[in-house]
């Protein structure tokens, strides 16, 4: 018992002796257990906080990406709206219309289009009865999309409502699908300017869009990654603009081809089959286009030559 301290506790039941060294050992053991528990709990909590921070960081990144996509979408929509405004203004100038200053674009557009089915037929018949000069016919087929955009193709999907082959639901098809081998050359159907060249939205894959004169645009989707044309480039009728591919929502190599007038989708097949021999047929097949005013606008510069 040398160099050891003993504590004696006496009560009604007798006396009990405790060595101080045993008490210290117990205290030390409890202290070690406490420290170990705090350490393990702290480590687990830190790990939990770390995973939470990682999760929040990923969420923040995703939100930033979504925010950027929304900003890009808004910017693209704004650019498209401004482009439509510009096209409407051009047509108003060509057709001699004078809209009110604060009139909405959609209301202004209604002035350009015929107001009744009877008027459409009357205007179509009137223009059919006109005799076109060779110079005017040549100008029409240089400025308005027409003919084949690929030398060989097979029609695989028509214009209009259809059951989407991938999404498995009924959906409006604003163009035609032309089955063709990969990397088939695609040529401009009329003079114009490259308005878009890059990855398209809503399943288009690689996309090229050309802005033609008199309110017409053409779109070429599911293209090969080799996009040789840049935005702002001018192309002549017959120029190479892209190569067919299989990008985006696609079941196989083909070209999705659209023709629009003031963003209104038209049946490209009518324009593919349109040529100088049957040039007046389009006036009755595509009655949403104000052909009489358009032809009149095209005649003006020819008369000045």
211-241: per-residue pLDDT in tens? Answer: 999 999 999 999 999 999 999 999 999 999 9
219 contacts 258 by C-beta, under 8 angstroms: yes
Rounded to whole angstroms, the Cα distance separating 193 from 183 reads: 22
Rounded to whole angstroms, the Cα distance separating 181 from 154 reads: 10
pLDDT at residue 169, rounded to an integer: 83
CA-based angle 273:277:281, to the nearest 5?
Answer: 60
The mean pLDDT of 30-59, rounded to a whole number, is 83
Q: 72 vs 199, which has greater pLDDT?
A: 199
Name the one residue in this structure whose structure tokens are 């979408």: 73
Residue 47: pLDDT over 60 = yes
Rounded to whole angstroms, the Cα distance separating 69 from 60 reads: 14
Q: 229 vs 12, which has greater pLDDT?
A: 229
The residue extents of the domains of the chain are: 133-279
The mean pLDDT of 132-141, rounded to a whole number, is 90
Residue 126: pLDDT over 60 = yes
Q: 242 vs 287, which has greater pLDDT?
A: 242
Q: Which helix (H) or strand (E) holds 219?
A: strand 216-223
β-partners of residue 197 are 208
β-partners of residue 258 are 219
pLDDT at residue 200, rounded to an integer: 80
Reduce the DSSP state of residue 182 to 3 states and report it: coil
Burial class (CB in 10 A: 0-12, 13-18, 19+), 246: middle
Q: What is the pLDDT of residues 175-189, one digit of tens each?
A: 999 999 999 999 999
Reported pTM: 0.61
Rounded to whole angstroms, the Cα distance separating 56 from 189 reads: 51
Burial class (CB in 10 A: 0-12, 13-18, 19+), 279: middle
Rounded to whole angstroms, the Cα distance separating 282 from 302 reads: 22
Residue 260: pLDDT over 90 = yes
Other CB atoms within 10 Å distance of the CB of residue 86 = 12
pLDDT at residue 194, rounded to an integer: 97
The class of domain 133-279 in CATH terms is: mainly beta
């Amino acid at each position: 018992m040398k160099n050891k301290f003993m504590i004696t506790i006496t009560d009604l039941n007798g006396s009990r002796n405790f060595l101080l060294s045993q008490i210290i050992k117990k205290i030390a053991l409890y202290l070690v257990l406490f420290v170990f528990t705090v350490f393990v709990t702290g480590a687990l909590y830190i790990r939990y906080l770390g995973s939470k921070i990682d999760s929040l960081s990923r969420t923040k990144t995703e939100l930033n990406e979504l925010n950027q996509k929304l900003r890009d979408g808004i910017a693209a929509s704004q650019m498209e709206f401004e482009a439509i405004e510009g096209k409407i203004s051009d047509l108003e100038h060509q057709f001699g219309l004078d809209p009110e200053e604060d009139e909405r674009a959609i209301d202004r557009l209604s002035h350009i289009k015929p107001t009744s089915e009877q008027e459409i037929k009357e205007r179509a018949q009137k223009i059919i009865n006109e005799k076109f000069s060779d110079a005017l016919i040549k100008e029409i087929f240089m400025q308005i999309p027409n003919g084949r955009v690929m030398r060989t193709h097979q029609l695989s999907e028509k214009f209009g409502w259809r059951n989407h082959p991938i999404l498995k639901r009924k959906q409006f098809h604003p163009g035609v699908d032309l089955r063709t081998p990969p990397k088939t050359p695609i040529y401009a159907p009329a003079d114009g300017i490259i308005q878009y060249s890059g990855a398209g939205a809503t399943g288009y894959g690689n996309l090229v869009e050309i802005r033609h004169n008199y309110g017409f645009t053409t779109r070429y989707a599911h293209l090969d990654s080799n996009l040789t044309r840049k935005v702002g480039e001018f192309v002549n009728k017959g120029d190479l603009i892209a190569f067919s591919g299989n990008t985006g929502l696609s079941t196989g190599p083909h070209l999705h081809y659209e023709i629009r007038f003031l963003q209104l989708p038209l049946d490209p097949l009518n324009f593919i089959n349109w040529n100088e021999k049957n040039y007046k047929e389009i006036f009755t097949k595509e009655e949403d286009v104000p052909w009489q005013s358009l032809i009149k606008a095209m005649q003006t510069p020819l008369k000045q030559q």
